């Protein structure tokens, strides 16, 4: 039988732990002194750092992944909030931009109307459209000028480009304007290019007018500008009305089919001019009877008797 005490002493040969501690402490101090004094361990330190670097990266990888994941989630949430905020701001800015553009166009039209009123030889007053006719078969609008503004039936209404319509009904504070595109509404015009007089009629559509009863051989071309002729005493002469858009000439029919487009904004602008002070024309003469009837009281002439 082997003694346990002897076996334990057999496997524990060598210096004691205290001696080992002192030895390694002195060795560490010596290495520190040599490295600080003579820089002998720089290459060794570089080699060890290269060998230990993968182990350090593996050791720090979980914390780095956690930080990156947290940063990604925070950044994603922040970007979503910023995107919503920018989208709301974009919608608000787009609405403000649309309002600004509408106000800019309205301001430009008002400037044109005021300039036109100052250059015109007729008296004009500014009016604004407040209502539009709900009946799709009627092309009329209501403006905010009525009898209190000395508006009368028959006055011409135009915008800064051309003729829009005519006053057809007057209320105390409002007036009804029949647009030139009203079906069968007639405006005497003439072709600006050659002075050919004719009449343009409304077709019941805000974007279309028509010239009726024009012979096939009439000197009219696509693109011709039609202006008021002024021969009826209602519309002043020289104001643009429409532009010839399409001409269909068929030798089988005596008249050409001519389609025109109104040049004025009959369904777009809100501010209009009411023209007044037009010169009044004399009344057309009334046709008299060709010959007066003989009086019944007169006696007939007697024929002498022959014997």
Q: Sketch the domain layout of the chain as residue ranges.
A: 123-276
Helix (H) or strand (E) holding 211: strand 209-215
Pairing of strands 197-202, 186-191: antiparallel
- 227 bridge partner residues: 190, 240
**Position 78 confidence tier, pLDDT thresholds 50, 70, 90:** confident
Helix (H) or strand (E) holding 35: helix 17-38
pTM of the model: 0.58
Q: What is the pLDDT of residues 34-71, one digit of tens each?
A: 777 777 667 776 777 777 778 877 887 887 788 878 78
The reported pLDDT for the residue numbered 11 is 53
Q: Rounded distance, CA 274 to CA 146, Å?
A: 11
Q: Rounded distance, CA 111 to CA 160, Å?
A: 9
Assigned superfamily of 123-276: Rod shape-determining protein MreC, domain 1 (2.40.10.340)
């Amino acid at each position: 039988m082997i003694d346990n005490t002897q076996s334990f002493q057999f496997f524990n040969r060598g210096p004691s732990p205290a001696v080992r501690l002192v030895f390694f402490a002195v060795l560490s101090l010596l290495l520190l002194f040599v490295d600080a004094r003579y820089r002998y361990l720089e290459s060794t330190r570089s080699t060890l750092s290269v060998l230990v670097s993968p182990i350090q990266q593996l050791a720090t990888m979980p914390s780095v992944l956690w930080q990156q994941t947290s940063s990604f989630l925070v950044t994603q949430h922040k970007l979503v909030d910023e995107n919503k905020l920018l989208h709301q701001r974009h919608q608000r800015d787009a609405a403000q931009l649309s309002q600004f553009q509408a106000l800019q166009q309205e301001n430009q039209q008002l400037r044109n109307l005021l300039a036109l009123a100052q250059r015109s030889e007729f008296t004009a007053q500014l009016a604004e459209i407040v209502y539009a006719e709900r009946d799709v078969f009627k092309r009329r609008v209501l403006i905010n000028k009525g009898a209190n503004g000395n508006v009368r039936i028959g006055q011409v209404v135009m915008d800064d480009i051309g003729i829009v319509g005519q006053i057809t009904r007057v209320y105390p504070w409002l007036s009804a304007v029949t647009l030139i595109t009203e079906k069968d509404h007639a405006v005497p015009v003439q072709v600006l290019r050659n002075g050919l007089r004719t009449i343009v009629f409304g077709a019941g559509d805000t974007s279309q007018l028509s010239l009726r009863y024009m012979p096939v051989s009439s000197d009219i071309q696509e693109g011709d500008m039609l202006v008021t002729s002024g021969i009826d005493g209602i519309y002043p002469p020289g104001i643009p009305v429409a532009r010839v858009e399409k001409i269909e000439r068929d030798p089988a029919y005596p008249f050409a089919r001519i389609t025109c487009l109104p040049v004025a904004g009959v369904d777009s602008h809100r501010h209009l001019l009411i023209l007044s002070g037009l010169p009044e024309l004399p009344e057309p003469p009334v046709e008299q009877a060709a010959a007066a009837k003989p009086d019944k009281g007169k006696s007939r002439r007697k024929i002498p008797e022959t014997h």
